[in-house]
């Protein structure tokens, strides 16, 4: 299988300088691309001077993670896309276990490696950890990460298993499956667009997998820090939109009723913890969710699956109970 590693860049020259050498060194059989989202720094000239083997695709503007990848990947012909954040260090032989899994099961559409913290390498990293899951109210979490609580890596997720969603931080996906789903929903801009894509793939009967035999180290927060109200806005809006698009019809009202109320409590909690801008961000996220309602309903697929919930009522168990 041919593999194309696509790194989306926006003013990330420093990240490319730091981490691109590990990608080149440890990916000898892959084509490496940088998709540039109209950077204003000297990313392009830096790449041309220092990494001539890396192919450059230049988007006309910064339209976010989702649209940026949709635009850039149209120019890449490969069996497998690897969507890789620019702030990721990869390791020796990280691609082989991925290709082996794809080869063994044609129904696997996407795969995620183990994602560890670059700054604390014996600990999982927030964006993906040991594979993505979701609870019955639509809260995404990971094996190795529940809300802000993150586990140390003691080999507990060295397995290979089916998961619900694979992190966009390091996402391997069959190009055919990516385009059969029309790529990412560009309205998401950034955050949770990969969960929406994985859910749509599962609605079509595809599998999403994790392998602990491949690992990468992620810095995290390279574009938007978690304290940024824009991140709060995108996460809350996109999560509601994703559920409306992908839940079975009989579940939509029940789930959204709970979530819209819980979001109100979350708004005051985040306002107390991180500032009142976060309350305003959640209010705006709900306004935009309703604004996008007609399009979201239009984008619902013919079939929606009811996800298998490894954990139910995650928020209540975590914040009111002892499940950390």
**pLDDT, block means (10 residues), the chain with 324 residues:** 97 97 97 96 96 97 95 98 98 98 98 98 97 94 95 98 98 98 97 97 97 97 73 96 94 88 92 93 96 96 82 88 82
Task: Give the pLDDT score at 240.
Answer: 96
Written in H, E and C, the secondary structure of 92-104 is CCCCHHHHHHHHH
**Which uninterrupted H or E stretch holds 23?**
helix 13-26
Q: Which of 232, 323, 243 is nearest to 269 (CA)?
A: 232
Task: Give the pLDDT score at 226.
Answer: 65
Alpha-helical (H) ranges within 170-291 are: 175-180, 193-203, 229-246, 249-274, 277-291
Contacts by 200-206 with C-beta closer than 8 Å and gap 24+? Answer: 200/245, 200/246, 200/301, 201/109, 201/110, 201/177, 202/164, 202/305, 202/307, 203/246, 203/301, 203/303, 203/304, 203/305, 204/180, 204/301, 204/303, 205/107, 206/107, 206/108, 206/109, 206/110, 206/177
Beta bridge partners of 173: 81, 110
pTM of the complete model: 0.95
User: In angstroms, how far is the first alpha carbon of the chain from the final one?
Assistant: 40
CB 70 within 8 A of CB 80: no
Beta bridge partners of 31: 4
């Amino acid at each position: 299988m041919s593999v194309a590693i696509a790194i989306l860049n926006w003013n990330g020259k420093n990240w490319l300088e730091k981490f691109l050498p590990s990608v080149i060194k440890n990916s000898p059989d892959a084509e490496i691309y940088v998709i540039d989202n109209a950077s204003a720094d000297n990313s392009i000239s830096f790449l041309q001077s220092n990494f001539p083997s890396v192919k450059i695709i230049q988007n006309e503007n910064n339209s976010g993670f989702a649209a940026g990848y949709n635009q850039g990947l149209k120019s890449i012909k490969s069996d497998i896309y690897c969507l890789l954040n620019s702030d990721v260090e990869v390791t020796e032989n990280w691609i082989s276990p991925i290709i082996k899994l794809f080869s063994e099961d044609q129904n696997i559409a996407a795969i995620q490696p183990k994602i560890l913290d670059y700054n604390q390498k014996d600990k999982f990293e927030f964006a993906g950890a040991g594979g993505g899951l979701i609870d019955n109210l639509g809260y995404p979490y990971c094996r190795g990460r529940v809300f802000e609580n993150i586990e140390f890596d003691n080999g507990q997720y060295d397995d290979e298993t089916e998961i619900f969603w694979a992190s966009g931080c390091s996402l391997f996906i069959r190009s055919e499956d990516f385009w059969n789903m029309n790529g990412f929903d560009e309205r998401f801009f950034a955050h949770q667009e990969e969960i929406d894509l994985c859910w749509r793939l599962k609605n079509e009967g595809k599998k999403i997998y994790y392998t602990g035999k491949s690992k990468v180290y992620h810095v995290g927060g390279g574009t938007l820090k978690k304290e940024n109200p824009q991140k709060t806005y995108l996460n809350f809006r996109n999560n509601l939109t994703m559920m409306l698009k992908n839940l079975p019809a009989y579940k939509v009202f029940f789930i959204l009723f709970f979530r819209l109320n819980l979001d109100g409590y979350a708004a005051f909690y985040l306002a107390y913890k991180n500032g009142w801008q976060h309350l305003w961000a959640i209010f705006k996220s709900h306004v935009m969710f309703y604004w996008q309602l007609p399009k979201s309903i239009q984008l619902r697929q013919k079939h929606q699956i009811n996800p298998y919930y490894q954990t139910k009522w995650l928020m209540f168990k975590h914040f009111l109970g002892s499940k950390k």
